[in-house]
């Protein structure tokens, strides 16, 4: 079972209180059930931070990066370039914030055994972290799941 948090700061506080040292960070792209005019689906990009609390419980926080109409390429649907760029920036900011708070970062995501997520990339982009801005920057408790 997962324990969802409204803010990354709250999740990291809980992890610190329980002496958990490892946080997994991963981007995730989901196709929405509805489609845009013309039948092209929209994709929602998120960055998800998870951590194991015990053998049956994990912590999870999600940051909604944005939503865009999918680009259709030879291999299928992909997020538009602007959304991929924003996702990479958000991932870097969140990873930097978690690292700055003293946690070890690992690739991937903790999920229930029926979940399937096949995206991960942790760019080495240094971005300033602004965790105190409400609903404006990753790592601050803003964003919507």
Q: Where are the domains of the chain?
A: 2-107
pLDDT score, position 108:
86
Mean pLDDT of 132-138: 44
122 three-state secondary structure:
coil
**Choice among 41-55, 95-109, 130-144 with the minimum mean pLDDT:** 130-144
Strands (E), 8-139: 22-35, 41-54, 57-69, 71-73, 76-78, 104-107
**Could you give the CA distance from residue 40 to residue 71 in angstroms, rounded to a whole number?**
8
pLDDT score, position 114:
53
Phi, psi of 93 (to 5 degrees): -65, -45
pLDDT score, position 129:
41
pLDDT score, position 127:
40
Burial 84-93 (b: 16+ CB within 10 A, else e): bebbbbbbbb
| pTM for the structure as a whole | 0.75
Residue 30 has pLDDT above 50, yes or no: yes
Q: What's the residue count for the chain?
A: 145
Q: Who wins on pLDDT, 65 or 71?
A: 65
For the chain, give the percent of residues with pLDDT over 90. 54
Model pLDDT for residues 109-126, shown as the tens digit of each residue: 887 765 545 454 444 444
Question: What residues have CB less than 8 Å from 83, skipping those under 6 apart?
Answer: 43, 45, 65, 66, 67, 68
**Could you give the CA distance from residue 145 to residue 116 in angstroms, rounded to a whole number?**
17
Classify the C-alpha dihedral 57-119-24-83 as positive or negative.
negative
Residue 22 has pLDDT above 80, yes or no: yes
Separation of CA 99 from chain center: 15
**Could you give the CA distance from residue 94 to residue 99 in angstroms, rounded to a whole number?**
8
Q: Who wins on pLDDT, 112 or 73?
A: 73
Q: Looking at mean pLDDT, say which of 37-41, 82-86, 132-136 comes out highest.
A: 82-86
Mean pLDDT of 37-42: 81
């Amino acid at each position: 079972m997962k324990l969802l948090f409204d803010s990354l700061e709250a999740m990291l506080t809980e992890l610190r209180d329980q002496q958990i040292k490892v946080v997994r960070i991963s981007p995730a792209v989901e196709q929405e059930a509805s489609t845009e005019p013309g039948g092209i689906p929209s994709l929602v990009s998120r960055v998800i931070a998870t951590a194991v609390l015990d053998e049956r419980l994990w912590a999870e926080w999600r940051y909604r990066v944005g939503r865009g109409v999918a680009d259709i390429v030879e291999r299928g649907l992909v997020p538009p370039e602007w959304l991929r760029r924003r996702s990479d920036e958000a991932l870097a900011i969140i990873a930097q914030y978690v690292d700055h708070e003293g946690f070890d970062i690992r690739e991937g995501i903790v999920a229930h055994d029926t979940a399937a997520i096949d995206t991960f990339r942790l760019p080495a982009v240094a971005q300033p972290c602004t965790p105190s801005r409400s609903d404006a920057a990753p790592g601050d408790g803003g964003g919507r799941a």
